Structure 1
């Protein structure tokens, strides 16, 4: 397993992966970490994430290899279908997966997403539009949603 660190506007991101694909991206609080040289298997992921944060990329084209249960993987696949700049409620996601009663299990799988940003769990919100739960912190969820918002509010002053 190879590891790389990249700087993002929301903190240092730790990327983990190998020839099988990208298995984890986590955002770290605290001290800045960096690599002198990026492992070759993580170069494309680092490049695409940098483009995303620069506003130059809306979708990712990476080989993914997240580890989880079959149910979690099903939820993570559904998350990848939420378009850039759009949101979906936990209830809508549960309906999309075919079981409204599974809303808590869907929310739990969403919270265990190992691929920060690339699998866009930040695009899932409460039914009332609230920014409910986010493993990376609600301030990061708000930042990501604002970053992806196609309509930027202009200041009048």
Structure 2
């Protein structure tokens, strides 16, 4: 499969992220205090390559309010159901949220909202596959691998970015 995964640490406003790449694409964006085993990846070596540099560039742009969509090859590693949920995350527009029920309906499994929540909790490619945009049915912020404060920060960043774009268009 192309040897061990490569990873690169990346400082960010939500803590140091660990970007992980395989030969097929970006395999993970992990949190500084990620729960061990949440995303089983196997052997990794620290290094850098064009994909890791590009992922860091795009994520830096996201945190600066300049990038709203990512253009990176992704290598989701999980069950068929998990990959289906994670792919559906990519359809949630920047600055918008969906409930777990909305996500379950979007993949044609309307009663599987708990399973969607479990898959969401194991999303390996945080931020880029925007699991932070999935909230409880009542609109409350629910569990997040990066912590609720990081989730709040990401959602507020997206709303501020959209607001600044709207202001600049109005001028």
Does the pair score TM above 0.5?
yes
Q: Which residue of 1 aligns with 2:137?
A: 127
Q: How many Å separate the matches in 2 of 1:151 and 1:47?
A: 23
Give 5+ residue unaligned stretches, structure 1.
Answer: 30-35, 153-157
Choose from 91, 115, 121 the match for 2:101.
91
Q: TM-score, normalised by structure 1?
A: 0.88
1:155 aligns to what? none
Q: Give the structure 1 partner of residue 90 of structure 2.
A: 80
Report how many residues are paired. 147
Aligned to 1:7: 11
Cα offsets for 1:55-91 (capped at 9, x unmatched): 1100000000021000000000111000000000111
SS at match of 1:2: strand
Asked if 1:115 is matched to 2:115, the reply is: no
Contact 1:3 1:39 in 2 (8 A): no
Q: What secondary structure, in the 3-state scheme, does the structure 2 residue paired with 1:14 have?
A: strand
Normalising by structure 2, we get a TM-score of 0.81
Deviation at 1:37, TM superposition (A): 7.2
Rounded Cα–Cα distance in structure 2 between residues aligned with 1:124 and 1:114: 15
Distance 2:25 2:49 in 1: 13
1: CA distance, partners of 2:111 / 2:18 = 34
Alpha-carbon distance between aligned partners in 2 of 1:41 and 1:115, rounded to the nearest angstrom? 14
Distance 2:22 2:108 in 1: 33
